[in-house]
Chain A
Amino acid sequence: MNTEKGMKSIWYFVGLIMFIIGIIVFAAGVYDLLNPTAKNIRLAELHTNIWWGALIAVVGSIYILKNKNKFAGE
């Protein structure tokens, strides 16, 4: 996106939302691990929320770090 100087790069926003959501999913997974409740979910033993949440957060953090000082069009 490059409409006017001063506008943050779109990739920074992508990183931000991915990082925040990844951290929340990861936290949900850790909470679920520490406070297991009876649920009828297949493959729950894989704790997908922990590793998938971590993966989303890592992808998000890479986008943030690579674009934190960049503006649109750079």
Chain B
Amino acid sequence: MTSIPLGFFDWIIMLVYFAFIAWIGFYLKKFTKSDDDFFLAGRRNSMWVCGIAFMSANMGSMEVIGYAGQSVKYGLYAAHFYLIGAVPAMLFLGVFMMPFYYHSRIKSIPGYLKARFNESVRVFNAGMFVVNMILVSGIALYLQALIFHTFLGWNWDLSIWLSAIFVALYVTLSGLLSAMFTEIVQFFLIWAGILILPILGLADIGGPAEISANLSQGFKTLWSTSGSPADNPMYVTWGGLVLGLGFAIAFGYWTTDFLIIQRAFSARDLRSARMTPIIGSYFKLLLGAVVVSTGMIALVLINDQSSGFNLLIENGKTNYDSVLPLLMQRYFTPGLIGVGVTSMVSMFMAGMAGNMSSFNAVWTYDIYHSIINKNASPQKLLHVGRIATVAGIILSVVGAYIARSMPTVIDYLQAISSMFLSPSVAIIILGMFWKFITPKGGLWGMLCGTIIAVALFIAQEIKLIPVGFVIPGFSGADSQSYMAANFWRAVWAWLISMGTAVSVSFFTKNKTDEELRGYVKGLVDKNEKAVDKAAWNKKPEFWAAVTLVIFIIINILLW
């Protein structure tokens, strides 16, 4: 493998990018005066600012570089991460859940859990979120270092620390404000770098028809081969996809992960907050089309011996994450290479800034302010938030070394989601839509779901149980079933959390209706009842319905 040759113009583009992002950090510092500015970006943003920042926080290295690699590994099945694994949950958040989050004027998801349940549920959820964020940030740092190291020939350790220091600099200066500001700038740069890739790829292989002509049924359809695990490259059934990915993991990520929902909290009004994930859903569909088609183009090229295209092989193992950089190397001329590398750096920066701005908010409000110093002044919280950012990034460097030891980062990422997000979504959704669930029910549900999911993962990793142990009726080889095991582990964690929460609620004391008012459906306050007087074509429900129709059409066309 030779490194991508960066020319004079490519270096200029990268320098301009870094200088611009650093300058924005300093420019915004003078507008960051209160803790609300730092943690919620002033809470006066339009739906477009929130929607694009929401999507940009999701467009990290894993979602673009990682899933392009997954498209080579799993063919069109990778599109499920952008379809059933995203769209229904995003729409549910915008249409049904956002009013509860927004009206409760909370500063974080654990903050909602305190209001709905009690302090213990809040602290436990905050602790899980902090661990989750460190591990996920570690993966992002590792992927960035992998790109610098493998494709630019930079020293591995140096590139990881340089990336970490740069993110620490601009998130520490102005928190969510600069994180969102730069996320929006980076959003456009990412598109500038990746949108052209499938266009060139299709021109190279001879058009979309070549994809269909050169791939087997299992690699080019979404559902028709999901009846039996042996018929598709992901070794998963439709049940695992719908329940595991579509519900337990997707709802866990899109409706309860504070990393992305924090952007919606910064909206100027409820309609903007509700529109945030709905606007994001359109970009998610477009991103899926670009990323998956790029991966499938690579698959066609790999199958064609005469193309001369192959993925990177390291220690005898195929590095699927090398797809995007290798295709850039194949097609990008001088200048474009600079945009391509800047685009990959932007993915990392946007993702990391998102991770760190949500990490510092949860640490500061839900752990420091809740347990360590209950009387801290707003200025003290601002100071703690900045220190938390630096500490979080140092811990992420440790997480990067853990990620480096894992076989594939996407399997690892989904494993993390199955352990930490799935129990949260079970309890938040139960608590939001059913007043019967008591504080102790919520706590024990979350606790049991998490402990069992973590225990199952550890037992699998130390080979106490086979990978397929959690998959109903699975009889294939362990190496085939990692992703399916992640989906099903999430389902079990979700079911155990729900079952425990309901069972414990039968025997424990609940809050009064008055205490739950505004936090549970059916106990609405006057704000929640306020009628949205916007025209029909400006209502979130209308735009959510449009996305849903597009989603259904795509699934039928690619069935």
Contacts and interface: CB of A to CB of B under 8 A. Distances in A.
A50 to B, nearest CB: 9
Interface string B422-451: 000000000000000000000000000000
Contacts of A56: 192, 339
Given A21-B189, A43-B204, A48-B200, A3 B37 contact: yes
Given A2-B42, A7-B31, A43-B203, A17 B331 contact: no
Interface stretch (B13-21, B275-283, B315-323): B13-21
A3 B41 contact: yes
B196 interface: yes
A18 to B, nearest CB: 6
Interface in B1-15: 7, 9-10, 12-13
B539 interface: no
Contact of B336 (A42, A48, A73): A48
B181 A2 contact: no
B189 A42 contact: no
A58 interface: no
Contacts of B17: 17, 21
Contacts of B339: 21, 25, 52, 56
A56 B335 CA distance: 12
A48 B333 contact: yes
A49 B42 contact: no
A27 B335 contact: yes
B293 interface: no
Contact of B20 (A17, A22, A25, A73): A17
Nearest to A7: B31
Interface string B169-199: 0000000010011001100110010001000
Interface residues of B, number: 43
Interface residues of A, number: 35
Contact of B338 (A2, A4, A25): A25
Interface in A43-72: 43-44, 46-49, 52-53, 56
Nearest to B178: A1
B332 A41 contact: yes
B196 A48 contact: yes
Contact of A49 (B37, B45, B177, B336): B336
A39 B330 CA distance: 10
B334 A28 contact: yes
A53 B16 contact: no
A14 B9 contact: no
B12 A14 contact: no
Interface string B334-360: 111011001000000000000000000
Contacts of B42: 1-4
Q: Is the interface of A mostly helix, strand, loop or mixed?
A: helix
B184 A28 contact: no
Nearest to B195: A52
Contacts of B333: 28-29, 32, 39, 41, 44, 47-49
B336 A21 contact: no
B93 to A, nearest CB: 22
Contacts of B185: 10, 13-14, 17
A28 B196 contact: no
B49 interface: yes
Given A1-B177, A24-B13, A52-B196, A18 B334 contact: no
B195 to A, nearest CB: 9
B323 to A, nearest CB: 15
A13 B181 contact: yes
Contacts of B330: 41-42
Given A2-B42, A27-B335, A17 B189 contact: yes
Contacts of A18: 188-189, 192
B329 to A, nearest CB: 8
A14 to B, nearest CB: 5
A58 B12 CA distance: 20
A26 B13 CA distance: 12
Contact of A42 (B37, B192, B331): B331
Contacts of A24: 9, 12-13, 16, 335, 338
Contacts of A17: 16-17, 20, 185, 188-189
B13 A21 contact: yes
17 contacts: A3-B37, A10-B184, A16-B20, A21-B16, A21-B192, A21-B339, A21-B342, A24-B13, A24-B335, A25-B335, A25-B336, A25-B338, A41-B330, A42-B200, A46-B203, A48-B331, A48-B333
Which A-B residue pairs are the 7 nearest by beta carbons?
A28-B335, A28-B9, A3-B42, A25-B335, A49-B335, A2-B44, A28-B334
